Amino acid sequence: MAYTVVIPARYGSTRLPGKPLLDILGKTMVQRVWEQAQLSAAERVVIATDDQRIVDVAQSFGAEVCMTRPEHPSGTDRLQQVVEELGLPDEHIVVNVQGDEPLIPPQVIDQVAANLEQHTQAGIATLCEEITAIAELTSPNAVKVVRDAGGMALYFSRAPVPYPRDAFLQDQHVMPATGNWYRHIGIYAYRTGFLHRYVTWQPAPQEQLECLEQLRALHHGVGIHVDEACQRVPAGVDTQDDLVMVRQVLSGGG
């Protein structure tokens, strides 16, 4: 199976300005992500950025780079520009690997690409992992996903869904003893043709409420296959504390 990885890497970040160029044990974050993607089975790995500083650094370690427009309203729009400029055919599979996940296992990149190839009824494939802590279940920063019997997404939400009514009537601060909840992991595989359609659609009402781009696809009837990740996927780097944690893990102290 041939597929391409695209790594969006924007310089602007509210909490960590210049995040892709932050140092992690002698290498920039974007290089760490690129190296993990290079260990996957992807035939091509492309960094997509809107900043010349990132272009210069990426080219210095040998990466292929695509300069994108700064005004894209979403990461998916940015990805569509990349596949259009690369001239990829409509059935070609593209995996979007977030530029702030320097610990992402290459195996999950391969997994999500293979899942999309195998599930022809899906327009998107993505991953999840089980939620076992009440703090994560109730946190709006942890996106929950509900699947049907065939592994297709029914809905994504920042709310605790499905809602454990009886358990929460007793205590909303204790993880319910029964039930299964899953956190969405933000890695996606798309077919190029879907991306060209996606950018023509207006944002869906539920997408705007939840601030979740994938809800636009569900709104338009596009199937999203969701599988449990074959390996644990460490959290990305959003804060200074996250950066410290990644440095500790890579130095053997975490």
**Tens-place pLDDT, residues 161-214:** 999 999 999 999 999 988 899 999 999 999 999 999 999 999 999 999 999 999
Task: Output the pTM of the full model.
Answer: 0.92
70 vs 231: CA distance, rounded Å: 34
- Residue 108, phi-psi category: left (phi > 0), alpha (psi -120 to 50), beta (remainder): alpha
Tell me the three state secondary structure of residue 253: coil
Q: Of 211, 206, 219, which Cα lies nearest the Cα of 186?
A: 211
* Residue 80 in this model has a pLDDT that exceeds 60: yes
- Convert the pLDDT of each residue in 104-163 to its tens digit: 999 999 999 999 999 999 999 999 999 999 999 999 989 999 999 999 999 999 999 999
Beta strand residue intervals within the chain, DSSP E: 3-8, 23-24, 27-28, 44-49, 64-67, 93-96, 124-130, 144-147, 153-157, 182-191, 224-228
Mean predicted lDDT score pLDDT of the chain: 93
- Percent of the chain scored above 90 by pLDDT? 80
Ordered by where they begin, the domains of the chain are: 3-128+184-250 (3.90.550.10)
* 45 φ, ψ (degrees, to nearest 5): -125, 120
Give the model's confidence band at 253: pLDDT under 50 very low, under 70 low, under 90 confident, else very high.
Answer: low
Query: Given pLDDT bands bounded at 50, 70 and 90, which one contains residue 56?
Result: very high
